[in-house]
Structure 1
Amino acid sequence: MTDLHRSHPDKTRRGFHAGFVRVLPDTLAARGIPAAAVWQALDLAPDEAPEDWRIPTTGLCHAIDIACNLTGELQTALHAAQAVRPLHLGPLGYALMSSAQGEDGLRMYERFQTLLCDEFLAQHRVVKGLIEIRHEPLDMPLPRHAGFWWFLIGARLSFARWVSGRDLVPVRIDLPCPRPSSADTFDRFIGVPVRYDTPDCRELMPADWLAWLNPNADTAMHQLMTTRTAQQMSQRPSGSPLLLRARLILAEHMSQGIELHLDEVVQAMSASDPELAGTTPRQLQKRLAEQGLSFKELLEEVRRERALRLLRDTAKPIGEIAHQCGYTEVSPFHRAIRRWTGLTPLQVRQQA
């Protein structure tokens, strides 16, 4: 596998960070189960986890299938998730571990999340005493794969429990996949019955989680690891926290039928993230220009990703999807879908 990486030094891939997904074959190895087939599915070798190497979601799902077949149980995905520690997340993991409060860790994760995965974006909001976190795919369908979601959501919750030293129990978990026969195992781990076959992936937690004090808080380590994490982020092709936050804000308002202008996006960024307070429209335009984008093109990207996902992954009426993508009428939405795909909205849905 090492030769493969060396022969494709410029290959651009999106997906999960190699250091994170290697916990899957490592978990098998710890149980004395040969994991060569899992390493092969991940396109990795046991002695490497290249800093810039990404494992696509499809590859991770395939590796999880192989791992579960080797053990004969879907719980293998959950066992791997429970083994995730700061080492698997790099500097970001240690920055999260040493943050002062739950809210600090959540905001830091959202700010730097593309270091872990750049095929999904997690965004949170606080509504009626609850933290609601939604996982939005970027220009790809939501996986209908129980093992994948057990691994991803299990890793998030297990890591939060480990850092906080608390038996954190969510209010609700929604997973966009069929309910597996062994679903009771994941229910027991989560602490509440999990809902399956939902339109999207959603976590609901008590808002007081934001205020819990981290027993592992370490100001010096946190500052050091945050600096290193920011350095890593700046080296990513699309690693600007400004662009990530802009995407999240545009998508969130778009879902409510609201289309924001550049100035409004900047205002929302400053209000939602203290790290971005004082950002100017000119700064956002500069970051966009560095990626070869204008604000209009960014808006178009977000609209396109959202429209295609809702058509492929939900049964919502086409008129409702058009509204949730910022269109006041259905006919311009039809024209946009045909421009992007060469198909009608109905054909996009049927092909999914």
Structure 2
Amino acid sequence: MSGSNTETPGDDISLREEALQPTTIGSYTVAIARALDASGVDSKRIFLAMGIPLDVSTDPMTRLPAATMTRLYRACVDVTNNPYFGLTVARHIHLTHLHALGYSLAASGTLMDFCRRLERYFRLVSQVAKVSLTQTDEHVLMRFDHLLELSSETEDAFFGFLIRTMRLIYKQEFKPVRVELRRPMPHEGATPYETLFRAPVLFGQASSLLVFDRADLMQALSGSCPELAQVNDNIIISYLARLDKSDVITGVTQKIIEFLPDGDCTRDKVASALFMSPTTLQLKLSQRGTSFQQLLDDTRKELACSYLSQASRPVTEITFLLGFSDTSNFTRAFKRWTGLSPTDFRQQG
């Protein structure tokens, strides 16, 4: 593969098309390399054959196209002769491979917080699927809608990693109620999946789905650190703004967080910071089904709940950080958002 320097126009076009595809965080390949080595295969040889760098940076801006990941996984399954290679990779993915999102997940107050962070910030890890949460009285459903065709191993590795991580930060006995996978069941059977998930596993489904017991997800986690989670959430948003340069919602949210403590977070100021007129900004937001005021409220509410979970922060400081002129204004807004006063919300937590 590397012995020839001749390239056809078709090769150039396919490479350009691949570069425009949704991407995945590059550090994910560290886990794949470790899984290959653990399987007795020289990962360096495989990575060189695939044209993938051996020393992938942990910078979340180092990305690999989805098609590259699919080709890599196909090669890994071939050389290991292991149809469950994705489940093997799951054992080697570490929270630190997810950069700031990994630290934020580890510091979550509950598994529900953990799931909500994945819903909000999954794009930092990968742009190949969209995560959405829905709740019933008894269950929480985490759905992954695929935005393009993925390799089966990608689905296996991430779901395996999620469940193993949840057990690590909550309790080893934790298990989902049900797992649904888009991938077909391997010819060799479902036993490795049932062993890992300790739950019924359905294959060939319309989307990837994890169903959890709601009561499990509401339990406080021993490693909870709201301050650390908040710091890393802000880092994630800054990276997403760089990653999604064309995404006006991410850009506006980042500027709102930046300007709130100054008490001067207006639509005009945010528009100017994003090098567009207020009218253009409002038009772009309306095309996405939202408005500046809606984003301002949503961001303030999310930050307020996070700050109030940090016991060391007084309400007066939170009022200032959110850009309110006095605590009575903040209290009225918070009651409108949650139905509770800041003090009641803090006591309830």
- TM-score band (shorter)? 0.5 to 0.7
Contact 1:102-1:212 within 8 A present in 2 as well: yes
After superposition, where does 1:242-281 map in structure 2 within 5 Å? 242=249
Q: Distance in 1 between matches of 2:103 and 2:22?
A: 23
Shift of 1:294: 5.8
Structure 2 distance, partners of 1:114, 1:163, is 22
Aligned alpha-carbon RMSD (Å): 3.5
One of 47, 55, 69 as aligned partner of 2:55: 47
8 Å Cα contact 1:110-1:123 kept in structure 2? yes
- The CA distance in 2 between the partners of 1:130 and 1:221, in whole Å, is 28
Unaligned runs of 5+ in 1: 2-7, 245-278, 300-352
Q: For residue 48 of structure 1, report the CA deviation from its aligned partner.
A: 2.1
Unaligned runs of 5+ in 2: 3-15, 252-264, 290-349
Instruction: Specify the alignment match of 2:187 in structure 1.
Output: 181
Query: What is the Cα deviation at residue 292 of structure 1?
Result: 9.1
The answer to whether the Cα contact below 8 Å between 1:146 and 1:179 also exists between their aligned partners in 2 is no
Identify if the C-alpha distance between structure 1 residues 289 and 241 changes in structure 2 by more than 3 Å, giving closer, same or farther. closer
Q: Is the 8 A contact 1:240 1:287 kept in 2?
A: no
Residues in 1 aligned to 2:283 and 2:78: alpha-carbon distance in whole angstroms? 44
Please give the secondary structure, in 1, of the residue aligned with 2:236: helix
Tell me which amino acid in the other structure corresponds to 2:174.
Answer: L
Kept in 2: contact 1:112–1:241 (CA 8 A)? no
TM-score (norm 1): 0.62
SS of 1:229's equivalent?
A: helix
1:299-333 deviations in Å (ceiling 9; x for gaps):
7xxxxxxxxxxxxxxxxxxxxxxxxxxxxxxxxxx
Query: Which letter does structure 1 place at the counterpart of 2:220?
Result: L
The 3 A distance-change label for structure 1 pair 241 and 101 is farther
1:68 equivalent in alignment to 2:77: yes
CA contact (8 A) 2:27 2:98 kept: yes
Q: Percent identity?
A: 15
For the 8 Å contact 2:25–2:124, the answer to whether it is kept is yes
1:125 has 2:134 as partner = yes
CA 1:101–1:25: 2 relative to 1, 3 Å: same
Residue 232 (structure 1) aligned with residue 223 (structure 2): no
Contact 2:249 2:285 in 1 (8 A): no
Pair 20,163 (structure 1): closer, same or farther in 2 beyond 3 Å: farther
How many pairs align?
Answer: 254
Does structure 1 retain, via aligned residues, the 8 Å contact 2:183–2:204? yes
CA contact (8 A) 1:130 1:206 kept: yes
Q: Distance in 2 between matches of 1:195 and 1:41?
A: 35
Corresponding position: 1:102 with 2:108: no
Q: Secondary structure at the match of 1:46?
A: coil
Q: Which amino acid aligns with 1:233?
A: L
How many Å separate the matches in 2 of 1:286 and 1:166? 53
Structure 1 residue matching 2:28: 3-state secondary structure = helix
User: Letter of the aligned partner of 2:178 in structure 1?
Assistant: R
In structure 1, distance between residues paired with 2:31 and 2:67: 17
**2:222 aligned to which of 192, 215, 226:** 215
Per the normalisation by structure 2, the TM-score is: 0.63
Deviations 1:83-105 (A, max 9, x none): 22121100110111011111221
Q: Do structure 1's residue 146 and structure 2's residue 152 form an aligned pair?
A: yes
Q: Which residue is 2:304 aligned to?
A: none
Q: Which has the larger radius of gyration?
A: 2
282-291 or 200-209, which moves further after superposition? 282-291
Q: Distance in 1 between matches of 2:168 and 2:80?
A: 25
Equivalent residues in 2 for 1:256-335, closer than 5 Å: 293=284, 295-296=286-287, 298=288
Aligned partners of 1:288, 1:157: CA distance in 2, in Å? 45
1: CA distance between counterparts of 2:231 and 2:100?
A: 9
Shift of 1:42: 6.2
Aligned to 2:120, which of 93, 103, 111? 111
Structure 1 residues 14 and 41: alpha-carbon distance in aligned structure 2, compared to 1, 3 A threshold: farther
Check conservation: 2:86, 2:153, Cα contact below 8 A: yes
Deviation by residue 1:256-310 (Cα, 9 ceiling, x = unmatched)? xxxxxxxxxxxxxxxxxxxxxxx999989999956994634x47xxxxxxxxxxx
Q: State the Cα deviation string for residues 103-146 of structure 1 (Å, max 9, x = none).
A: 221112211111001121110110241111111133x3x43x43
Q: Is residue 2:98 matched to residue 1:92?
A: no
Q: Determine helix, strand or coil for the equivalent of 2:205.
A: coil
Structure 2 match to 1:197: 204
Residues 186 and 26 (structure 1 numbering): CA distance in 2 closer, same or farther, change over 3 Å? same
Who is 1:311 aligned against?
A: none
CA contact (8 A) 2:90 2:157 kept: yes
1:21 is the counterpart of 2:29: yes
Residues 181-220 of structure 1: per-residue CA shift (max 9 Å, x gap): 2321112111123111112212111111321222222344
> Which whole-Å deviations, capped at 9, do the CAs of 1:222-279 have from their partners, x for residues lacking one?
23323322322232225869469xxxxxxxxxxxxxxxxxxxxxxxxxxxxxxxxxx9
